[in-house]
Amino acid sequence: MKKALLGTTALVMGLGLLNGAALAQVGNADVKAVIAFDKTLNVIENIGREKAVFLNASPMIMPIGAAEAAAIAVVGHSAVSYVAAGSTGATSVRLDLNLVNAVYNNSGVVGVNQDMGSMNNQGNLVSFGSTNSATALADSQAETEQYNVNSLVTESGSTTTANASTTDGKAPGGVVFRSRRTTTLQDTVYNQTGITGVNQTSGTANNQTNSISLAVGIGGTAALSEAALGQTTASNTVVSSTMQHTALVTNAVNNNQGMTHVNQTSGNLNSQSSTIAWSGTVGSNQAAPGVLGNRF
């Protein structure tokens, strides 16, 4: 509801022409209005940000001393053909490899290789270099290459039905694998300080390598390190029937300080490796610009 005061000159002039007298009339009127409209609002906002950073580092180092360490391993199998066949009696293929309550409370560098299989490659490599020159470069390199190609491993075993006299501890009527490959680490590799490498296998044609390279510059200027690992497995065939493979780690590899590496397998044609390169400087010398390293 809206009150409007109407007094228009056009209305007064019209009444004057009709009545011969100019009479101004003023009155009140009630006006009702319904207003409807549609509104469409389009907003287009474009925000753009571009940022370019160019970094050019040119180290200028002329050290009077250097420490360099390199650990390089190339191991593999090519065109291997291996056949292991068991019979239905006690002469079946049965390889149980255990490392129990061993390798503990040692300090320094410890390497252990344990193998009950065939044609396996195992290695623990440690390389260390140091210098105490006032300006020195510490450089470490660790590279490992492993390959298994064009090889064939065939193994066949046997099973039997357990009875009361079976040493496997199976219940009578159960199936016992007379042919098996087992590796076990139990209560071992603990409380070690330093560098420890362990390889264990009961399989065939496996590659197991632990490679560590360390370089330290005492009072050095720069530290560089590089680690590379290459593994190739191609065109291999493994045929295994009635053979049980088991790898167990029980209460092992605990409470160690430093670097601890463990490779374990009971299979065939596997490649396992731990490859580490580390370099660092110790002292208060200022690092050279553009060189990445570890300072402690």
Tens digits of residue pLDDT in 50-106? 656 565 656 566 777 788 899 999 999 999 998 887 554 444 678 889 999 999 999
Q: Of how many residues is the chain composed?
A: 296
Residue 149 within a domain? yes
Question: Are residues 8 and 81 located together in one domain of the fold?
Answer: no
Question: Are residues 13 and 121 located together in one domain of the fold?
Answer: no
Question: Are residues 182 and 253 located together in one domain of the fold?
Answer: yes
Look up the domain containing 226 and give its range: 67-282
Residue 38 within a domain? no
Question: Are residues 254 and 108 located together in one domain of the fold?
Answer: yes
Question: Are residues 106 and 26 located together in one domain of the fold?
Answer: no
Q: Residue 262: which pLDDT band, with cuts at 50, 70 and 90?
A: very high
Distance CA 219, CA 198 (A): 33
Question: Are residues 21 and 164 located together in one domain of the fold?
Answer: no
Q: Is residue 124 a contact partner of residue 205, using CB atoms and an 8 Å limit?
A: no
Residue 44 within a domain? no
C-alpha triplet 235, 236, 241: angle, nearest 5°: 145
**Which residue's structure tokens are 């409380």?**
191
Residue 50 within a domain? no
Over 50: is that where the pLDDT of 255 sits?
yes
Q: How large is the average pLDDT for residues 215-238? A: 88
Q: Residue 290: which pLDDT band, with cuts at 50, 70 and 90?
A: very low
Q: What percent of the chain has pLDDT over 90?
A: 45
- The pLDDT, as a whole number, for residue 12 is 39
Write phi, then psi, for 12 (nearest 5 degrees).
-65, -40
Residue 48 within a domain? no
Q: Residue 292: which pLDDT band, with cuts at 50, 70 and 90?
A: very low
Question: Are residues 151 and 95 located together in one domain of the fold?
Answer: yes
Residue 61 within a domain? no
Residue 22 within a domain? yes
CA atoms within 13 A on the CB side of 236: 22
- The pLDDT, as a whole number, for residue 235 is 94
- Give the mean pLDDT of the chain: 77
C-alpha triplet 221, 223, 226: angle, nearest 5°: 165
| Number of domains the chain is built from | 2
Over 50: is that where the pLDDT of 5 sits?
no
Question: Are residues 197 and 278 located together in one domain of the fold?
Answer: yes
pLDDT digit string, tens, across residues 122-142: 999 999 998 888 778 889 999
Over 70: is that where the pLDDT of 161 sits?
no
Question: Are residues 145 and 256 located together in one domain of the fold?
Answer: yes
Residue 271 within a domain? yes
Question: Are residues 113 and 206 located together in one domain of the fold?
Answer: yes
Q: How large is the average pLDDT for residues 25-53? A: 62
Count the Cβ atoms, other than its own, within 10 Å of residue 271. Answer: 24
Question: Are residues 21 and 85 located together in one domain of the fold?
Answer: no
Question: Are residues 176 and 227 located together in one domain of the fold?
Answer: yes
